[in-house]
Amino acid sequence: MEQGVLKHRRTTLERAEKFISTIYFTDVNLQGKLYPKKADVKSLTHWAAPNLKDEHLRFEKVVKQKFTPVKVGQQFGPTWATHWFRVDVEVPVEWVGSEVHLRWNSGSEALVYVEGKPRQGLCSEYDRLDYPLSESLQADNRSFTVYIEMACNGMFGAGDNGMIAPPDLNRQFTLSCCEVAVFDRRVYNLIREVELLHDMAKHLPEGSERGYQALYTVNAMINACDVNDPTTFQKCHEISSKFLQQKNGDSQHTTYAMGHAHIDTAWLWPYSETRRKCARSWSCTIRLMEKYPEFTFTCSQAQQLDWLRRDYYDLWCEIKKYAKEGRFIPVGGTWVEMDGLIPGGEACIRQFLLGQNFFAQEFGAPCKEFWLPDTFGYSGQLPQIMRHCGISRFLTQKLSWNLVNKFPHHTFWWEGISGHRVLAHFPPGNDYGMKGKVEEVGLIMLLRSSQNFKDKGRSDKSAFLFGFGDGGNGPSEDMVERLNKMKDIDGLPRVKMSTPDEFFSAVEEEDGGNLCRWTGELYLEMHNGTYTTHARVKKMNRLCEMLLHDVEFVHTVAFIELIAHVYPYGQLPKLWKLLLLNQFHDVLPGSSIGMVYKDAHEHYEEIMTQGNEILAKGFRDVVRKGNFLFPKPGQTKCIIRNNLSFDRTEVIVIETEPSGSGPAKKPAKKRQKRSPQKQAKAQQYNSEGHALYCVNIGSYGYSFLDPVTSIQPAEVQEQDGMYVMKNSLLEAHIDQQGRVVHMYLAGSDRDAVDKEYPANQFVMYDDIPLYWDAWDVMDYHMETRKAVTDVISETEVLDQGPLRVSLKFSLRISDKSRINQQIILDAGSPFLRFNTEVEWYENRRMLKVEFPTSVHAREATYDIQFGHIRRPNHRNTSWDTARFEVCGHKWSDLSEHGFGVAVLNDCKYGHSALDNVLRMSLLRSPKAPDRMADMETHTFSYALMPHAGIRMDPHTLTYALMHHFGTLQEADVNKHAYCLNSPLYTVKIECDLDLPPSTSFFSMSTTQVVLETIKLSQADRGVIVRFYEAHGGTCRATMTTSLRRQITNAVLVDGLELKLKGEEDQVDLTHTENSITFTIKPFQIIAVKLIGF
């Protein structure tokens, strides 16, 4: 009798590892016996597809092409090309009864077609190389023909020297394997058992008895196994079974496992490749579903499913079959997994509206969970937006990427700025699939999941998303086998193949009352350069959001006011979908390759062109038909439209026709007869020869040009080497470099600008991140500040008043880059505007503009979706410090009691505030994954707005200083930021009437409540009006319409335009024939369907 050998932990572990290694000792280990027999295919022929962008090649077309012989070892390319192969197989008769696989490795992604239908994806990176031809080969069925579509890209694109590097466009891919092989399933099962025992021995807490039991069991298995004698395999299996059958106690944590494939809708590859990635991934999923009846799979992003429906109808039908069984589970509810910070509030709602429409229509029900695992931070208004759209559950994991602070929860109540709550879960594996961490699949992840779990004691369950993302084709057979084996093994969390609904329901029912709460945004301490990268995409996003808003407003009015007006029901969803698609979490943030932006800008172009066309047509109809005007050549009226829910008095520019007898001058001439003196004051031609007027337009309305004449002029004069710009509200002192040295509110000697440092100071920073080039701006960039002071042309006067004064100057950033700026002050304007042009050709440098103020405050305030958020402007804690660069929308503000300074912008999202200085991030210059990111000329506007509770009377343009009303709310910072973003729109219309009507279709009793959206409901042509409370305080507000038809009923609805139940009491909605009145809480979103129109 031999004595037991004392085991050394490390050597025993490594022995087990080598026994199933795919690299070492494969000639004598178990892994080496997985494919005991191999043979060449009978024939291999090939056809290179022409490069047809965005055209999905139909199989029927492909098979008609001329295929020519090729050999294993040949190369195919270049990057992004498509190659088709026909593979004919004649399996040797000796293999009858065996499981036979076709093995394929083209160093790329590929899709197997059988009998004309897509069957299964292949991907070299994660060794998905097998396509099973037969589970048990029949003697009379040994011939097979398959087609393989090879895509010349890897799962992460084709980065030249590194994953996120721009693609190498000339890469060749080698076909290194095309063969048939016997697959020995007994060996495969033993490998899974050895792996499981090895992983338990290695990863259970050191010193745990269970770990040692696993170690000794795996050692005994190897001792019993003769890899050349399959009759020994049964004995090995019996040894492991004895161990694996030992069960857990009742208290064990439960892991709700769900298959998933996080497919980026575009990233290191273009949109068109994603369409194919989906087919490759989900065909793999369907094959697994056929084999494993318990296997479930969660799938987000309506857009991707919609692409599949169009491109791969056979596969789509298979998916719908499994969806009906509740195993292929649509999740998320949104059109794409969008960025969580930059999209506007209304766009976020549309993500749900169009997404849930699709899910309900195609799968019979909307999704129950919002699913955003990979997005770079989550707005504090998302909980309410979710609730508004009928969703109360949220899943992500991205905050595990935090660089500094560990987020303290995995399961918790997330409460937004409005007080609305959702149940949030971060799968504690801190991953949504295995990106580059193949060794972590399965057991290690599972252990890490339960060990990481931060809410132990409050909850004993967590979700586990398994599957390779992007081109990795989702869950693999190995993963499903592992999880099946781990259902209930003593020492490991229980594994339950599950659904998100089952998981969240269990948490809600059993743990909901125990959970902690997190209030406010979920800030990701990483990727904060994405608020700035690809500036033009951000600008187009903002413009297109505004444009679609305007289209909906105008056509809703047209629908109500005119007989038989056709609302653009067909075009609007199409344009919205393009905009929503570009809000994907690698497109809008600026972290995709250059090819993606070519597509993205084509989408924006389409939205702008078509959107403007339907807008112009709708508005012409409203004005002409609504006033019974008819075209009359020569009689051109100039009409100004206000697309906002605020009354406005502003200076506008009307392009004057070169002939000199242009229409813009006509109203002026008429008026001159009546009051020549005033008119002389009230009209001006700017430096480009265009006419300026000051006009007064009601909210959501229009007016014929009817200039305001009683207006205090704007002036500019030189004084002690500086220019002093002045209107009735402001006085700004500008130096030769275009910097604001002093700024006063009229009637006050309080300087808004810091004593020592001027505002509107451009500053450059080194911007070299650790790895994620387009994504990250690092904290150390702040130590490299360099002021831009190299003057090309000093400040000079451009416009002299009385309606507009302006200055211009130019600065040199470097030999390649420069700034040209105009500083503008209009009569009656509460802000100083900066129209900026930057020629930008830098390398890993960042441009900001800074505004040192005289304000003493502990927090800065930032505009976000449907509200605002306060963040510290100091660095007390590591959480404060880590938020050195933050996302804001149309304005940021620093306020003390009675006085504040706001910075407004028309397309920027990156901000920072430290002590008394507000900074806005203007441009970055990362080189990966897009070498050309931001290398062009950019134009944008921003404005500086000090406030001390100035209240303007919009009609007389008088003002009053109210020192005790100095808040940003009282000063209407939000309103003025909207105005900067939505210039009054001017159009010339030929008509035969001289009567100048002016109309405000919708008006609000207070600027505290913004009427954000006016649209027709998708279902029944009711008018949907959506409001939000913008100041952070409860109030009662009235909306009045001047529309011809009357309101007969007003119903509260949600974001999906369905009748809301249960909130009527709080809102206390009442209506008359032309108004509705309701109570609205801080930052609340309320949508009302008006019936009767």
Tell me which residues are annotated as active site.
Answer: 374
Contact pattern from residue 26 through residue 45 relative to Zn ion, giving x for each residue in contact according to CB under 5 A and a dash for the rest: --------------------
Q: From the CB of 1057, what's the least distance to Zn ion, in Å?
A: 29
Furthest-apart CA pair in the chain: how many Å?
Answer: 124
Q: From the CB of 337, what's the least distance to Zn ion, in Å?
A: 7
96-132: burial string, b at 16+ Cβ within 10 Å, e else: bebbbbbbbbbbbbbbbbeeeebbbbbbbbbebbbbe
Q: From the CB of 40, what's the least distance to Zn ion, in Å?
A: 40
Residue 1000 · residue 1041 · CB < 8 Å: no
Q: From the CB of 333, what's the least distance to Zn ion, in Å?
A: 17
* Half-sphere exposure for 308 (CA within 13 Å, toward CB): 26
Q: Which residue's structure tokens are 């987000």? A: 300
Identify residues 252-271 at the interface with Zn ion (CB under 5 A). 264
CB neighbours of residue 477 within 10 Å: 18
Contact pattern from residue 220 through residue 259 relative to Zn ion, giving x for each residue in contact according to CB under 5 A and a dash for the rest: ----------------------------------------
The contacts of residue 600 (CB under 8 Å, 6+ apart) are 266, 537, 582, 587, 592
**d(C-alpha 307, C-alpha 124), whole Å:** 24
Q: From the CB of 338, what's the least distance to Zn ion, in Å?
A: 11
| Residue whose CB is less far from Zn ion, 377 or 568 | 377
Q: From the CB of 374, what's the least distance to Zn ion, in Å?
A: 3
Q: From the CB of 5, what's the least distance to Zn ion, in Å?
A: 49
CA angle 208, 210, 211 (to 5 degrees): 70
Nearest to 179 by CA among 102, 96, 121: 102
Q: From the CB of 262, what's the least distance to Zn ion, in Å?
A: 6
Residue 40 backbone class (left: φ over 0; alpha: ψ -120 to 50; beta: rest): beta
CB neighbours of residue 220 within 10 Å: 17
Say how many residues touch Zn ion, by CB under 5 A.
2
**d(C-alpha 575, C-alpha 613), whole Å:** 12
Identify residues 848-877 at the interface with Zn ion (CB under 5 A). none
646 burial type by CB count under 10 A (0-12 exposed, 13-18 middle, 19+ buried): buried
| Residue whose CB is less far from Zn ion, 374 or 1054 | 374
Stretch that binds Zn ion, among 3-11, 373-381, 1011-1019, 1046-1054 (CB under 5 A): 373-381
Residue in the shown chain whose Cβ atom is closest to Zn ion: 374
| Residue whose CB is less far from Zn ion, 274 or 941 | 274
**d(C-alpha 329, C-alpha 1061), whole Å:** 27
| Residue whose CB is less far from Zn ion, 306 or 431 | 431
State the DSSP string of 324-345. Answer: HTTSEEE-S-SSS-B-SSSS-H
**d(C-alpha 347, C-alpha 350), whole Å:** 5
**d(C-alpha 967, C-alpha 245), whole Å:** 68
Identify residues 264-303 at the interface with Zn ion (CB under 5 A). 264
Backbone angles phi, psi at 505, to 5 degrees: -60, -45
Q: From the CB of 955, what's the least distance to Zn ion, in Å?
A: 52
**d(C-alpha 413, C-alpha 504), whole Å:** 12
Stretch that binds Zn ion, among 181-189, 369-377, 476-484, 621-629 (CB under 5 A): 369-377
**d(C-alpha 944, C-alpha 940), whole Å:** 14
Residue 862 · residue 889 · CB < 8 Å: yes
Our finding on whether 374 is near Zn ion (CB under 5 A) is yes
CA angle 667, 668, 674 (to 5 degrees): 100
Stretch that binds Zn ion, among 237-245, 328-336, 370-378, 654-662 (CB under 5 A): 370-378
The stretches of 839-916 forming alpha helices (DSSP H) are 878-882
Residue 629's SS3 state is coil
Our finding on whether 930 is near Zn ion (CB under 5 A) is no
Backbone angles phi, psi at 196, to 5 degrees: -65, -45
Give Cα 37 distance to the centre of its chain.
49
Residue 423 · residue 507 · CB < 8 Å: yes
Structure tokens that stand for 1026 in this block: 């959506």
Q: From the CB of 469, what's the least distance to Zn ion, in Å?
A: 7
Stretch that binds Zn ion, among 366-374, 657-665, 1001-1009, 1073-1081 (CB under 5 A): 366-374
| Residue whose CB is less far from Zn ion, 376 or 899 | 376
Identify residues 793-852 at the interface with Zn ion (CB under 5 A). none
| Residue whose CB is less far from Zn ion, 355 or 1055 | 355
**d(C-alpha 189, C-alpha 619), whole Å:** 69
| Residue whose CB is less far from Zn ion, 154 or 698 | 154
257-272: burial string, b at 16+ Cβ within 10 Å, e else: bbbbbbbbbbbbbbbb
Q: From the CB of 287, what's the least distance to Zn ion, in Å?
A: 24
812 pairs with which residues across the strands?
790, 818
Q: From the CB of 267, what's the least distance to Zn ion, in Å?
A: 7
Q: From the CB of 534, what's the least distance to Zn ion, in Å?
A: 16
Terminal C-alpha separation, the chain:
96
**d(C-alpha 11, C-alpha 338), whole Å:** 48
Residue 524's SS3 state is coil
| Residue whose CB is less far from Zn ion, 374 or 842 | 374
> What is the dihedral sign for C-alpha 359, 365, 371, 377?
positive
Q: Which residues bind Zn ion (CB under 5 A)?
A: 264, 374
